[in-house]
Amino acid sequence: MVRYVVQVGDEVLRTKCAEVKKFDAELGKLMDDLKQTVRAENGAGLAAPQVGVPLRAVVVDVEEGFFEMINPVILSSKGEQSGPEGCLSVKGKQGTVTRPYRVKAEYRDRFGRKHKLTAEGFFARAVCHELDHLDGIIYTDIADEVYDLPEED
């Protein structure tokens, strides 16, 4: 099910999200919905609070693949990159954000199994952006500049 993506100003986007404790069918449904919603919205990632659920769960959809990350933690980061970023919860805007160039992260899948990944470039940017959502951080908080995008028809 494609869910409504909450917009900036909604309190849930400023919540420090809770760890997922139950790896059950309800979590599976949330992860399926996040996938459908991010694809319907043509995004690179989506975090559970963006659909109104204050849990530590995100999806990242990039060239390298589709990743479901539950209770994700950044283990290490390296380097620096600066580039444009947008957010499905901040429609019509983009900003320049500086992020690590490479990150290593650990997370669980919907079945509770542990995984690790190393992300670089845009993939690393997407992981950092989505993980920030779990602590109530929106990219506009840390952007060097934020600007309006031309209106879409």
> Per the residue annotation, which of 85, 130, 145, 152 is the catalytic one?
130
- In this complex, which beta carbon is closest to Zn ion, that of residue 31 or of residue 86? 86
Q: Which residues contribute to the site for Zn ion (CB under 5 A)?
A: 87
Least spacing, CB of residue 140 vs Zn ion, in Å: 10
CB-CB contact of 97 with 142 (8 Å): yes
- In this complex, which beta carbon is closest to Zn ion, that of residue 23 or of residue 93? 93
- In this complex, which beta carbon is closest to Zn ion, that of residue 87 or of residue 117? 87
Measure CA 98 to chain center: 16
Least spacing, CB of residue 101 vs Zn ion, in Å: 20
Question: Which residue's CB atom is positioned nearest to Zn ion?
Answer: 87
**Residue 44, C-beta contacts closer than 8 angstroms, at least 6 positions apart:** 38, 60, 61, 62, 122, 126
Q: Is 80 a catalytic residue?
A: no
Distance in angstroms (rounded) separating the CA atoms of residues 146 and 151: 15
CB-CB contact of 138 with 114 (8 Å): no
Distance in angstroms (rounded) separating the CA atoms of residues 3 and 143: 27
- The continuous run of DSSP H or E covering 97 comes out as strand 90-99
Least spacing, CB of residue 103 vs Zn ion, in Å: 16
Residues noted as catalytic: 130
